[in-house]
């Protein structure tokens, strides 16, 4: 993460530079433009006379030749500029031609070309390195996103496997145990044994274990979501919350919001499951509301309760549940926010932007 933060500024600078069109000229046209500029400056130098020197303006064609051409072309334009400058002064009637001035001017132009060429080389090297680092960073981010998706898929498969094992193995084993305990209770009742009440308690405990196992299996594995979509999956989640915690839980969803992408549907369901379960366990609410709707271009999933709520200033979330919800939202490119719901209660909201070519309404 530190590398990402460090290079995000350079990436932004590179992106801003690329917004501007790059001025390029072919070799022949660059030579023609530079010669025209040198000739124009030389003619203006002749018209203004030797009393008013235009040596500074010769730097324009020299700069163009050096920056967009080559070092040799820059030196060539320097030579042509010095020759035209001398000829313009001679044509305008200069009384004395000082070779010292010619030498100093030529050396100044050569030094300017050398410094400009060095700066151009450094800029291109910097641009190349930034481009390479940006490519490497993009590959690193893409690899990390791929690993996150693979980890999420593996975790979901393990979750489903564990839920199926709970339902098929442990659930059936407890059901068989409950039947054996029921038979034992009936045999004791026929003999009017004093252990009948204890046998009835044993049967009740086993039935409670069966119900607990089924609830746990539902938490790990949701066949409704896989078979019939997110809408019915959330409806089943609300019903499960009502049964497990004896708390009013309602679902409000638009039938016109199908989410056929299994990855998005799974993450949205897990976020709703985690938020609603945490609310029922810790917030002591009278009602929990799960809502799935389209708000403009965004798909919004919200889980609201009227319980004790969060403090006004939510500290940095260290709980595993909050981190899982934020991570699940990040995997599908959604935003996640949890805060106090007015004067009482909590609202957890996940928003997912839907572009025009979204895959929400079709399988990948």
Q: Over range 278-298, report the average pLDDT.
A: 88
- How confident is residue 313, by pLDDT bands cut at 50, 70 and 90? low
> Are the C-beta atoms of residues 134 and 7 closer than 8 Å to each other?
yes
Residue 336 has pLDDT above 60, yes or no: yes
* pTM of the complete model: 0.55
72 vs 150, higher pLDDT: 72
- How confident is residue 160, by pLDDT bands cut at 50, 70 and 90? confident
Stated as kind and residue range, the H or E segment containing 157 is helix 99-165
In this predicted structure, what is the pLDDT of residue 349? 93
Which of 269, 270, 275 has the alpha carbon at shortest distance from 292? 269
Q: Over range 191-204, report the average pLDDT.
A: 85
Using CB atoms within 10 A of its CB, is residue 94 exposed (0-12), middle (13-18) or buried (19+)?
middle
Tell me the domain boundaries of the chain: 2-144, 228-364
In this predicted structure, what is the pLDDT of residue 6? 38
Hey, how many other C-beta atoms are within 10 angstroms of the C-beta on 306? 20
pLDDT over 90, % of the chain: 30
Q: Which residues contact 102 (CB under 8 A, 6 or more apart)?
A: 82, 86
pLDDT over 70, % of the chain: 84
The pair of structure tokens assigned to 150 is 């693979």
344 vs 291, higher pLDDT: 291
Structure confidence by residue, pLDDT tens digits, 65-87: 999 999 999 999 999 999 999 99
Instruction: Give the fold, CATH level 3, of 228-364.
Output: Heat Shock Protein 90 (3.30.565)
- d(C-alpha 312, C-alpha 337), whole Å: 14
DSSP string, 164-220: HHIIIIIHHHHHHHHHHHHHHHHHHHHTT-TTHHHHHHHHHHHHHHHHHHHHHHHHH
In terms of phi and psi (left: phi > 0; alpha: psi -120 to 50; beta: otherwise), the region of 137 is alpha
In this predicted structure, what is the pLDDT of residue 308? 85
């Amino acid at each position: 993460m530190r590398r990402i933060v460090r290079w995000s500024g350079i990436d932004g600078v590179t992106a801003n530079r690329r917004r501007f069109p790059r001025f390029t000229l072919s070799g022949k046209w660059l030579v023609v433009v530079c010669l025209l500029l040198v000739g124009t400056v030389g003619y203006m130098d002749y018209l203004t006379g030797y009393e008013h020197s235009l040596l500074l303006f010769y730097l324009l064609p020299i700069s163009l030749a050096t920056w967009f051409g080559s070092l040799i072309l820059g030196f060539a334009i320097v030579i042509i500029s010095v020759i035209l400058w001398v000829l313009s002064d001679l044509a305008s009637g200069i009384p004395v031609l000082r070779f010292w001035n010619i030498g100093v001017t030529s050396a100044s132009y050569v030094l300017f070309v050398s410094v400009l060429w060095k700066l151009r080389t450094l800029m291109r090297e910097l641009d190349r390195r930034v481009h390479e680092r940006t490519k490497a960073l993009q590959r690193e981010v893409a690899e990390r996103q791929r690993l996150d998706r693979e980890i999420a898929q593996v975790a979901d498969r393990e979750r489903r496997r564990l839920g199926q094992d709970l339902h098929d193995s442990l659930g059936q084993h407890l059901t068989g145990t409950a039947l054996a305990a029921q038979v034992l209770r009936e045999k004791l009742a026929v003999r009017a044994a004093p252990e009948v009440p204890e046998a009835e308690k044993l049967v009740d405990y086993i039935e409670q274990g069966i119900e607990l196992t089924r609830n746990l299996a539902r938490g790990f594995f949701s066949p409704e979501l896989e078979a019939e979509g997110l809408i019915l999956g959330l409806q089943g989640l609300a019903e499960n919350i009502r049964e497990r915690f004896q708390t009013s839980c309602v679902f409000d969803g638009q039938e016109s919001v199908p989410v056929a992408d299994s990855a998005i549907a799974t993450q949205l369901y897990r976020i709703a499951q985690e938020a609603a379960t945490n609310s029922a366990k810790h917030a002591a609410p009278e009602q929990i509301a799960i809502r799935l709707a389209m708000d403009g271009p965004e798909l919004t999933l919200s889980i609201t309760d009227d319980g004790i709520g969060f403090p006004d200033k939510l500290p940095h979330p260290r709980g595993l549940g909050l981190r899982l919800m934020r991570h699940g939202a990040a995997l599908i490119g959604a935003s996640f926010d949890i805060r106090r719901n007015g004067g009482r209660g909590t609202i957890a909201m996940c928003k997912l932007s839907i572009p025009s070519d979204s895959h929400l309404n079709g399988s990948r």
